[in-house]
Amino acid sequence: MTMNESAAGTPIIEMRHITKRFPGIVANDDISLSINKGEIFALLGENGAGKSTLMSILFGMYEPDAGEIYIRGEKVRISSPNQATKLNIGMVHQHFKLVSNFTVTENIVLGLEPKKRLGGILPVVDIKGTDGKIAALSEKYGLEVDPRAKIEDLTVSVQQRVEILKMLYREAEIMIFDEPTAMLTPQEIESLLGVIRSLRDAGKTIILITHKLEEIKQVADRCAVLCRGKLVATCDVAATSTHQMAYMMVGREVSNEMEKEPPHFGREVLQVEHLTVKNANGFPVVKDVSFSIREGEIFAVAGVSGNGQDELADAIAGMADAAAGTIRLDGEDITRASVRQRNEAGMAYIPADRQNTGMIMDFTLAENLLLKSYYRPPYCVRGRLHREAFGRKSQELIGAYDIRSGQGADTVVRSMSGGNQQKAIVARELDQQGKLTIFVQPTRGLDIGAIENIHRQILAERAKGRAILLISLELDEVMKLADTIGVIFSGQLLKTAPVQNLTVNQVGNYMMGVTT
């Protein structure tokens, strides 16, 4: 399986027979890779295929249970990120490792702080004196950022630039990017890929972890495909079709197409008028938003993470107060209604945060499946819970939605897989037979099969004439499912239009606040 590595002399990275186990799972199973200096090497695989684990091993976050690593031909043991840094390895993690109340410069120098002596005696960290150096570095690589800005005030893509600058400041030669495009707009992705190319041209070696085939096609030289912890193949990107790559990644034929029936819109179910929502500090995060959703319509909100989507969903579901405006469900004003009243009026909500919002992780599957109806007969009569009724209902849902778990209805949800947790939430919410269903990032972190499954369910709901509010950070998903798209930027709906009237690039522009 090893390819033409001899051409470029000694590979800069060689990983041999790496195995890493976690309790209950073999994350990496005997993986061998070699990467050449100055190439962009992609690591392709589904969620849970072991890509991030493998790179965390290279970056010293985990030690492998077996296997060897050679850097520039020398055998090394990387037991900490410190050592990785010394070997000129840097990494941009999927969840940024940034301190929110520190400035850009403070974040960049953290761990490698420049010092000066105060009055010639007391050593102090020299932040002011480093701002200039950071500014110069950011200019050199076209990574525009204000060294004195606080992280919490920056957008996701600027924060990512800070992460890249962190690597450059540490003089990294090998740069690992873990799913760097997941939260970006098409235009931001374009510019990031440009930066990655120019880093390669400056002699850096780039490792790109991703599950997006188009990106690999665009920038990568070679690509390794991982599936369930095993290395499937290493291939030349130019010589391999995306179809082949997809097949290797999933291990079966993938049908990318899904039939979407022509829409049959009915009357308006949800009407949101001039809705404003404020955050805990009193700043408006949703500003004067108006839209409506009809029966049989999928209204998708597109936008970059952190532009008010979560607050919008929370306000409609009753978990956040509306500072101004009205929300009507089936013509009835529910602006001040409680969460329970909205549930009973026919609203179902699949929240973005499965583990902290959608479920109580220490409850059993049965208790979670009845989370919205536990208080009603037959589950509860005069304050007393009926376990048999709980059991019957949950068996029904477990069967209908194919929810798998160790001990059936009595399994504590914490011990279930993410995909099955999501299935349980979807089962509970769709079973409400509501008029409106809110989906927020319903496919985040799921593998391709599960994503298809969820997409089918959303379309099936639409076919039944339900109104659907879909909030997603995945533009592909929005374009694929939506009947109407609303683009949110900085809390405002900048554009609302039928999907056929918008191109991906137009949506991307609106997502960045460009309205012309």
By CB under 8 A, tell whether 445 contacts other proteins: no
β 222-227/230-236 pair status: antiparallel
By CB under 8 A, tell whether 361 contacts other proteins: yes
By CB under 8 A, tell whether 309 contacts other proteins: no
Q: Which of 17, 115, 336, 456 binds other proteins (CB under 8 A)?
A: 115
By CB under 8 A, tell whether 433 contacts other proteins: no
Which residues inside 7-36 make contact with other proteins, applying CB under 8 A? 21-24, 27
DSSP string computed for 268-334:
EEEEEEEEEEE-TTS-EEEEEEEEEEETT-EEEEE--TTSSHHHHHHHHHTSS--SEEEEEETTEE-
> Is-contact 316 327, C-beta < 8 A?
yes
| Cβ distance to other proteins smaller for residue 265 or 379 | 379
By CB under 8 A, tell whether 447 contacts other proteins: no
Token pair of 218 as six digits: 């665009």
Which residues inside 41-60 make contact with other proteins, applying CB under 8 A? 53
By CB under 8 A, tell whether 437 contacts other proteins: no
Question: What's the DSSP call for residue 355?
Answer: I
Q: Which of 2, 9, 94, 118 binds other proteins (CB under 8 A)?
A: 118
The mark string for 328-357 relative to other proteins (x by CB under 8 A, - otherwise) is ----------xxx--x-----x-x----xx
Q: 378 preceded by cis ω (within 30°)?
A: yes
> Is-contact 510 338, C-beta < 8 A?
no
The mark string for 58-87 relative to other proteins (x by CB under 8 A, - otherwise) is ---xx-----------------xxx--x--
By CB under 8 A, tell whether 434 contacts other proteins: no
> Is-contact 454 446, C-beta < 8 A?
yes
Question: What's the DSSP call for residue 210?
Answer: E
Q: Which of 360, 479, 497, 504 binds other proteins (CB under 8 A)?
A: 360
Q: Which of 239, 259, 384, 516 binds other proteins (CB under 8 A)?
A: 384
Q: Least separation, in Å, of the C-beta of 349 and other proteins?
A: 7
By CB under 8 A, tell whether 125 contacts other proteins: yes
Candidates 100-108, 188-196, 227-235, 303-311 — which segment interacts with other proteins by CB under 8 A? 100-108
By CB under 8 A, tell whether 278 contacts other proteins: no
Q: Least separation, in Å, of the C-beta of 62 and other proteins?
A: 7
**How many residues lie near other proteins (CB under 8 A)?**
58
| Cβ distance to other proteins smaller for residue 27 or 458 | 27
Residue in the structure block whose two tokens are 């990574």: 143
Which residues lie below 8 Å from residue 50, measured CB to CB, with a gap of 6+?
Answer: 20, 27, 28, 29, 31, 226, 228, 229, 230
Q: Least separation, in Å, of the C-beta of 385 and other proteins?
A: 6
C-alpha to C-alpha distance for 50 and 11, rounded to whole angstroms: 22
Q: Which of 110, 149, 233, 504 binds other proteins (CB under 8 A)?
A: 110
C-alpha to C-alpha distance for 215 and 312, rounded to whole angstroms: 31
Task: Look at residue 95 and give its three-state secondary structure.
Answer: coil
Q: Least separation, in Å, of the C-beta of 487 and other proteins?
A: 26
Q: What angle do CA 247, 250, 254 make, to 5 degrees?
A: 60
C-alpha to C-alpha distance for 34 and 224, rounded to whole angstroms: 10
By CB under 8 A, tell whether 120 contacts other proteins: no
Q: Least separation, in Å, of the C-beta of 439 and other proteins?
A: 14
Q: Which of 49, 91, 285, 470 binds other proteins (CB under 8 A)?
A: 91
List Cα–Cα distances, 346 to 55, 92, 293, 342, in angstroms: 45, 43, 14, 6
| Cβ distance to other proteins smaller for residue 113 or 144 | 113
By CB under 8 A, tell whether 252 contacts other proteins: no
Q: Which of 28, 36, 88, 107 binds other proteins (CB under 8 A)?
A: 107
C-alpha to C-alpha distance for 127 and 147, rounded to whole angstroms: 10
Give the count of alpha carbons within 13 A of 508, CB side only.
14
> Is-contact 374 380, C-beta < 8 A?
yes
In the complex, the residues that contact other proteins under the rule CB under 8 A are 21-24, 27, 53, 61-62, 80-82, 85, 91, 93, 95, 97-102, 106-107, 110-113, 115, 118, 122-125, 317, 319, 338-340, 343, 349, 351, 356-363, 367, 371-372, 374-375, 380, 383-385
